């Protein structure tokens, strides 16, 4: 389980294809602390660490075809920065919201508006069961826990403060880019119980 509080930015340094799988080597500041079999969220996608090179400061994760189809990982190439979060320790602070690392679908960034001190981002997604946002509710975008507003069945907006902008991949996000969305798990359960 994760909280959507990004720990660090990683950089993809290598991408290898093996059958329908894709192996990503990621440069990260906490590589020496990672262990094989550990879960790490990469842009909100829970992936298992399959190799660690502490001396090089890198780790390797593997994405299967299902993951590549439902997320933006299929577009990743060397040089791309990604948001990283290790799983929540049992005695850790719960600063964001409940995030599973199970991306529901991708959304398109429709607009970025500089508000002279913060940034507004507008996203559009396909409607469907469980794809629910509410005013002032939680949403996870590329692994970042955020509060949404201007919520509709097919989109929403978020506001980004300078700290988040500087310490996540939001600084690189432009209109037309695909992002990974994970809707609030509580909202998804409620929607299912109500048949929506």
* Domains of the chain, earliest start first: 8-86 (2.40.30.20), 105-194 (2.40.30.20)
The Cα–Cα gap between 95 and 85 comes to 13
Q: In the predicted model, is pLDDT for residue 130 greater than 90?
A: no
Tokens of 31: 């590589």
**Number of alpha carbons in the 13 Å side-chain half-sphere of residue 60:** 13
Sort strands 105-114 and 119-124 into parallel, antiparallel or unpaired.
antiparallel
Residue with tokens 């949404």: 148
User: What does the pLDDT read at residue 196?
Assistant: 66
The Cα–Cα gap between 50 and 16 comes to 13
Q: In the predicted model, is pLDDT for residue 122 greater than 90?
A: yes
Confidence of residue 163 (pLDDT cuts 50, 70, 90): very high
The Cα–Cα gap between 85 and 8 comes to 7
Q: In the predicted model, is pLDDT for residue 59 greater than 90?
A: yes
The Cα–Cα gap between 28 and 17 comes to 21
User: What does the pLDDT read at residue 86?
Assistant: 96
């Amino acid at each position: 389980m994760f909280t959507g509080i990004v720990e660090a930015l990683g950089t993809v340094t290598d991408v290898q294809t093996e059958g329908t799988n894709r192996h990503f080597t990621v440069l990260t500041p906490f590589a020496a602390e990672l262990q094989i079999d550990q879960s790490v969220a990469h842009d909100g996608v829970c992936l298992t660490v399959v190799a660690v090179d502490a001396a090089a400061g890198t780790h390797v994760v593997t994405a299967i075809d299902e993951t590549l189809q439902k997320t933006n990982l299929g577009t990743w190439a060397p040089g791309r920065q990604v948001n990283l979060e290790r799983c929540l320790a049992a005695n850790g602070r719960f600063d964001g919201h409940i995030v599973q690392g199970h991306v529901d679908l991708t959304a398109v960034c429709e607009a970025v508006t500089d508000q002279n001190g913060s940034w507004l981002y507008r996203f559009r997604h396909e409607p469907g069961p469980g794809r629910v946002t509410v005013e002032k509710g939680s949403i996870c975008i590329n692994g970042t826990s955020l509060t949404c507003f201007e919520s509709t069945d097919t989109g929403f907006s978020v506001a980004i403060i300078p700290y988040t902008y500087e310490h996540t991949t939001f600084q690189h996000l432009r209109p037309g880019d695909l992002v990974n969305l994970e809707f609030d798990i509580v909202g998804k359960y409620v929607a299912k119980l109500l048949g929506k």
